[in-house]
Structure 1
Amino acid sequence: MKKYSTEFKMKIVQEYLNKEGGYKYLTDKYGLSDHSVVRRWVNSYKTQGYEGLKISRKNNSYSFEFKKNVVKLYLTGEMSYQELSNQFKINNPAIIARWVIDFRNQGLDGLRPKKRGRPSSMTKDKNKNNEQVKKEYSKEEIDEIAELKDKLY
């Protein structure tokens, strides 16, 4: 997804608030992908002010309890995705939608933190197996190795 400067977002929000155009008109005027982008910027500006339009450079990680409470609020029908994202200062309502989907598919386990990154290529068990293979030489093989070493030196 393309990132837009805070000034660009502010310009579009001001045009909307000054009634110079609706979501669809401003989307077409500036060549944005979807009118929901403009709606999200306007909502962020109304609830958080200028700070709500700034590009977030950090990846927020939310606790299991926090996710559980937000999903519970949504499922009880008290608030929409947009209202929840505004109240809890979550950048994108789609984050909450993802939590709800995960909860519906996997239950509470879907909200727990997941391991990230590439899995390690070697496990400790593989290392142990290699050591065992090295140690298991027959008496004949050991004698042969010793004989070959003697010939070399």
Structure 2
Amino acid sequence: MAKYSERFKLMLVKEYQGGTYGYDTLASKYGMSSSSPIKRWVKIYEKFGMEGLMRKLQKKVYPVQFKLDVLSFMTRTGFSETETALHFGLTNPPIIASWKKAFNEGGAEALENPKGRPPMSDKAKKRKNKQTDEKEETKEQKLERENELLRLEVEYLKKLRAFQMDPDGYLEKHKQRYHSNSKKRTD
């Protein structure tokens, strides 16, 4: 699933609200395989404003009972995931689909299992910080190496340009240098 920037989402929402294009036309105009995300963004923007379109840095953990209430409401009313999400104040409607899938596969217990890795212990965090410090040193070394390679590339391009402008003069100049270097090596 492609990740879209908040700016891109807002641009599409505003373009849709301008009335010039419909959902499907916008999707094909911007090379999207489906117009569903645009429909969702428009509805979320209308309910929550720009904040609804923004990515959340912190993942919110919902209690199992809340997830069950959402799924039960959706089943009772026949609302879509987007409509249900808007009703419950959720800005990420696809999360309901993942809850539904988990519930269908493993029941209420499946809704209880948090996804992803467990939080790091303090020891692991300290170890990670030490490794980061070491990586910064290697980053500096990498940058120095990259600088050196760029300097060599510039030098090479200068010589290439000089050769292209006057091949005979360049060869004559460097022929002398080559002969003097080769004599030093044989001594």
Class of the TM-score when normalised by the shorter of the 2 chains: 0.5 to 0.7
Residues 70-101 of structure 1: CA distance to partner in whole angstroms, max 9, x if unpaired? 11111223532111111223233221122122
Q: Shift of residue 116 of structure 1?
A: 4.4
Q: Shift of residue 39 of structure 1?
A: 0.8
Partner of 1:57: 57
Larger Rg: 2
Say whether residues 1:75 and 2:64 are aligned partners. no
Separation (CA, whole Å) in 1 of partners of 2:10 and 2:32: 14
What SS does the corresponding residue of 2:49 show, helix, strand or coil? helix
> Counterpart of 1:26 in structure 2: which amino acid?
L
Contact 2:6 2:53 in 1 (8 A): yes
* TM-score, normalised by the number of residues in structure 2: 0.56
Separation (CA, whole Å) in 2 of partners of 1:114 and 1:5: 26
Partner of 2:89: 89
Separation (CA, whole Å) in 2 of partners of 1:98 and 1:9: 22
Task: State the structure with bigger RCO (CA 8 A, min sep 6), 1 or 2.
Answer: 1
C-alpha change, 1:99 and 1:15, in structure 2 (3 Å) is same
C-alpha change, 1:8 and 1:95, in structure 2 (3 Å) is same
Separation (CA, whole Å) in 1 of partners of 2:79 and 2:46: 17
Q: Percent identity?
A: 36
C-alpha change, 1:21 and 1:64, in structure 2 (3 Å) is same
Partner of 1:40: 40
* TM-score, normalised by the number of residues in structure 1: 0.67
> Which structure has greater helix proportion?
2
Separation (CA, whole Å) in 1 of partners of 2:115 and 2:58: 19
Contact 2:53 2:91 in 1 (8 A): no
Alpha carbon RMSD of aligned pairs, Å? 2.0
Q: Shift of residue 61 of structure 1?
A: 1.5
C-alpha change, 1:68 and 1:22, in structure 2 (3 Å) is same
Separation (CA, whole Å) in 1 of partners of 2:95 and 2:36: 15
Q: Shift of residue 7 of structure 1?
A: 2.1
Partner of 2:103: 103
Contact 2:44 2:86 in 1 (8 A): yes
Residues 99-139 of structure 1: CA distance to partner in whole angstroms, max 9, x if unpaired? 12222232221221347438xxxxxxxxxxxxxxxxxxxxx
The answer for unaligned runs of 5 or more in structure 2 is 119-187
